[in-house]
Amino acid sequence: MTARAPIRVLVIDDSAHNRRTLTQLLGSARDVEVVGEAEHGEEGLRKVLELHPDVVTVDLEMPRLGGYTFLRLLRGTAPTPVIVISSYSHQTDVFKALELGAFDFIAKPQKATPEALESLRVELLEKVRASRLALARGSRRDALQRALGTHEQPPFVVAVAASTGGPPAVQRLLEALAVEPTPCVLVCQHMPAQFTRAFAERLDRIGPFHVTEASEGDRLLPGHVYIAPGGRHMVLEERSGRLELSVPQQVPGDRYAPSADRLFASIARQLGDKALVVVLTGMGSDGAEGAKQIHQAGGEVWAESEETAVVFGMPQEVIATGVVRRVLPLGKIGPALVVRARRRRSAQE
């Protein structure tokens, strides 16, 4: 049996120390090979054309040719998955990079402790491997519009889970929902704590929904989107006869924080057969156990199909449980939710 060729990576960073560190971390895996380094975007672009790497890692702040310009030029000349390595102090820059076609991002550790470097190594290798899967498929973006409204009826609640490739997928889903402003959307996106608020603020600026990072006691309202805070969970609870969000801290043993399994389980308890959850692109199996509880409560589970999922891990795992009602490409999930929301609204009128 022929061994699979290693994933060829080009590292671009103006810091020699950072290049050396990333090269060492990537080189720790047998299935990954660093084929070159570059200290700015101009040199990086030349090396992409010369070396044809499978994946590129890039810092956004570089001399001569910055990260944004590099992404624009790369997209037009030699489309290649790019993983942005960004500091915690530049959250909004990351989302602009995703809009320009970056595959994903990783936050630089604030202190280079052995534990932080090991965490960086694991995440870096996971996303480099995921980018190879994405290269075999393809997917991405669109545009937006519309206004919201409120009423006292309990809103139509949709819970969405996503990981790698999720930010643009969530954006596209909300864009498609923009023609029907009554849903309340709960988003569990795997993302570091310092980035979820910036993600919510960005979505709030570009669409009709009111998007916020979830806080303790938030009330479920139509036309509102709540993003689970990174490093914590988001669960649905009933308090004083009304539904509210709670954001408990993670506990030892939690694999994901936020956790789609925790969110889905709470929705199954509180909404029963009115529960509807959607699993989008992502690595791992988060959401599969919670999906079983949604099904047992009489609710519905939908999943993104392989043809559009950047990484088919999470959707595939939830489909494998046998409880998924609908498997749809990303572009059809939003319109299908609009139909469901309008049907529900008509039944209440």
Domain ranges of the chain: 7-136, 151-347
Give the mean model confidence (pLDDT) for residues 209-218: 93
**Residues labelled catalytic:** 163, 190, 286
Tell me if domain 7-136 and domain 151-347 are identical in fold. yes
Cβ–Cβ under 8 Å, residues 260 and 161: yes
CATH classification code of 7-136: 3.40.50.2300
Contacts of 5 (CB under 8 A, 6+ apart): none
Which residue blocks in 11-61 are alpha helix, DSSP H? 16-26, 41-51
Tens-digit pLDDT profile for residues 260-319: 999 999 999 999 999 999 999 999 999 999 999 999 999 999 999 999 999 999 999 999
* Average of per-residue pLDDT across 86-106: 78
- State the Cα torsion 196-156-142-200 to the nearest 10°: -20
Tally Cβ neighbours within 10 Å of residue 327: 17
190 Cα distance to chain centroid: 6
Average pLDDT of the residues in 320-333: 97
User: Which option is the CATH number for 151-347: 3.40.50.180, 1.10.10.10, 3.10.450.50, 3.30.2320.50?
Assistant: 3.40.50.180
Over residues 226-269, the pLDDT tens digits come to: 999 999 999 999 887 788 999 999 888 889 999 999 999 999 99
CA–CA gap between residue 282 and residue 35 (Å, rounded): 27
**What 3-state DSSP class applies to 49?**
helix
Query: What pLDDT, on a 0 to 100 scale, did the predictor assign at position 143?
Result: 26
Look at residue 145 in the predicted model and tell me its pLDDT.
28
pTM (2 d.p.) = 0.68
Q: What is the mean pLDDT of residues 63-82?
A: 84
